[in-house]
Structure formats: C-alpha cells, structure tokens
Amino acid sequence: MSGGKVLIVEDNPVNLRLAQFLLEKAGFTVAKATSGAECLAQLELDIPDVVLMDIQLPGEDGLSITRKIRATPRLAAVVVVALTAHAMAGDREKILAAGCDGYIPKPVDPGRLAGEVRRYLHQGRLKSA
C-alpha cells in the first residue's frame, strides 16, 4: 500500500537522503531532484501528490520553480510544500505568494516529517483567492 507519491527537491545530499529515508519508511513512494531543472524534468515524467521544495537551490530557486508549477494546468492538483531554513515573518508571505501550500522549517524534525507531509497531502491544494 502506498502512502502517496512525493517528489523531494533538495540540493543537499544529506538532507535528501534523510527525507527519502523517513518518507519511504512511512510508506510514501519517493522521487528525487537536486535542482529546479531536474524537478521540472521529473514532473514531465510523473505527477506526484506532493512536491517537497527546498527554497535555496543552485540556479533557479524553489520559489521560481513553484511559480512555474503553478502556471502549469496539468500540475494543478500537486501540493507544493516549501522546505525553508528561514521561516521568518515576511518569508511566509513570499512562500505562499509563490503558490506553495505551506512550508516545513529546516532542519526537518525526523519525528514529524512524514506526518506533516501526510497532513498536507490530505489537506490538498489551498483554495486560491
């Protein structure tokens, strides 16, 4: 039984491996990308339920990639959750304005990551105003 498909976009290999381990252990099917370009290429191949989007990426950043996802009708149902090391006042607004459905602060809490992803998956896309 699959808990859903998650595409993890993360350029740090340690963070990527940890998130993959935690989500697979919880029953999710995981795909990976280490840049925005790889993320967009993956989304051409397969549409996940949730994209976990690191904001700080080499090249195009996670907010820019999220805007591209949100501009793509075939990806309308994909839930995008930002992974951000700077979840401070102002950043939250920028993250939501880019089209993310929410964010998970980094470093991720290993005991909570899978549960948070499951909650976002079940909650689905935010209603856009």
Candidates 3-11, 28-36, 96-104, 112-120: pick the segment binding Mn ion (CB under 5 A). 3-11
| Binding to Mn ion, residues 49-68 (CB under 5 A) | 54, 56
What gap in Å lies between CA 107 and CA 114, rounded to an integer? 14
What gap in Å lies between CA 85 and CA 56, rounded to an integer? 9
> Judged by CB under 5 A, does residue 11 bind Mn ion?
yes
Candidates 5-13, 32-40, 45-53, 108-116: pick the segment binding Mn ion (CB under 5 A). 5-13
Minimum CB distance to Mn ion smaller for 50 or for 52: 52
The count of C-alpha atoms lying within 13 angstroms of the C-alpha of 47, restricted to the half-sphere facing its C-beta, is 9
> First and final CA of the chain: distance in angstroms?
35
Q: How far is the CB of 56 from Mn ion (least distance, A)?
A: 4
